[in-house]
Amino acid sequence: MNEELISAKNKAEESDRLKSAFLANMSHEIRTPLNAILGFSSFLKSPEHPRERINEFVDIIHSSGHQLLSIINDIIEVSQIEAGHISVTIDDVNITKLLNELFILFNKDASAKNLELILNINRSADDIITRTDGTKIRQILSNLLSNAIKFTHEGKVEFAARVAKDNVIFYVKDTGIGIDPDDQKYIFEPFRQVETTITRNYSGNGLGLSICRALVEKLGGNISVNSIPGKGSTFTVTIPYESDEKEVKRDDRERPVLRKNSKYNWMNHIILIAEDEMNNYKFIKEMLSSTKVKILHARNGKEAVEMVKTHPEISLVIMDLKMPEMDGYKATEMIKEMRPKLPVIAQTATVYFNNDEVKKAGFDEYLSKPIEFNEFMEVIDGFLDN
């Protein structure tokens, strides 16, 4: 009994120590981009900087913001995982297409470090299509690819997927610094790796691989590493292969049809923006300013419903979810009762909003905050007639 108590006490102390080390490292990881944002934004007002310098500052502010966002996403993800709240959305996923997209995305980062990025797929073979959660696969592979590029200084990073019996096997292989055999058993555990000196030399919060492992296991698969220090590492992910030839139904088929159009001229349209935060409203208005669209503003769900009632000429609604008096869910329900065909696009700060929830709540589409300009314009354009 005494021994059990001592072991439990040691475990609790160990966990406490790891969490303190994690918080100290995290504080550094958060302060770094925040310093850049505060520092460089204060330069924007001073008149002596030429235009090129200002552009450079804006780029730094922008990329630091993204860095901060990815840290926040990781922290939220880990807390969701620890609370047992990961949900999966299973659909047909074209793995080949997904790998091609990742190649385009990561080729820039690899080239910037003079590394060769190789996507090893058989281009004459059929696409690999399996039923799984595409967002999670993308997240797992993105994490592995960004690690591979981060920890490799010369040579190449190669990735691929193949079907073997009942599994889809992915690998991400690099010619980087490798991982010590003693550390290999820890790297998939949260909080652990932040202690190692390796993590101190490279930026990172030490959460990526633990998130990968939790997501892979949720998909019914497993992840492993094979690595030789100084030579490189290969991460292998295996998930069940489930193909369903007949299955072509996609949930977005039931939504209003998206029409593509490249130039944005919406002068004949009125868009209602339901948003209580003034700065968010101004930001959306600014993004729309070049399109000549007319804009109405509602500061809560109740006002939004009233405006849809009194302005039948409204073509589209952009709906914040969290608002005073009446939230975006209730407002959308009432708007859809009045005008079922009026497109309502949710904008949400919740990372875990997924396609199923969108449909259930009656929205036609959703945009996650922070809203990305190109995606925003494409989504809206898809719902507006010219």
Q: Which residues bind ligand ADP (CB under 6 A)?
A: 147-148, 151, 174, 176-179, 187, 193, 196, 198-199, 204-210, 233
| Nearest-approach distance from CB 81 to ligand ADP, in angstroms | 13
Least Å distance between CB 232 and ligand ADP? Answer: 7
CA angle 90/105/213 to nearest 5° reads: 45
Instruction: Give least dist CB 159 to ligand ADP, A.
Output: 11
Smallest distance from the beta carbon of 187 to ligand ADP, in angstroms? 4
Region of 371 on the Ramachandran plot (φ > 0 left; ψ -120 to 50 alpha; else beta): beta
Closer to ligand ADP by Cβ: residue 200 or 259: 200
Tell how strand 91-94 and strand 116-119 pair up.
unpaired
Our CB check for ligand ADP shows the closer of 207 and 384 to be 207
Least distance to ligand ADP, CB of residue 175, Å: 10
Taking CA atoms, 214 is separated from 92, 156, 211, 234, 236, in Å, by 21, 27, 5, 19, 14
Strand-pairing partners, residue 158, are 118, 173
Q: Tell me whether residue 55 or residue 79 sits nearer to ligand ADP (CB atom).
A: 79
Q: How far is the CB of 146 from ligand ADP (least distance, A)?
A: 8
Q: Which is nearer to ligand ADP, 206 or 328 (CB)?
A: 206
- Nearer Cβ to ligand ADP (225/335): 225
Residue 382 is which amino acid? G
- Sign, CA dihedral 368-371-372-376, equals positive
**Comparison of 113 and 282: residue with beta carbon closer to ligand ADP:** 113
How far apart are CB 377 and ligand ADP at their closest, in Å? Answer: 33
Q: Which residue, 204 or 301, has its beta carbon nearer to ligand ADP?
A: 204
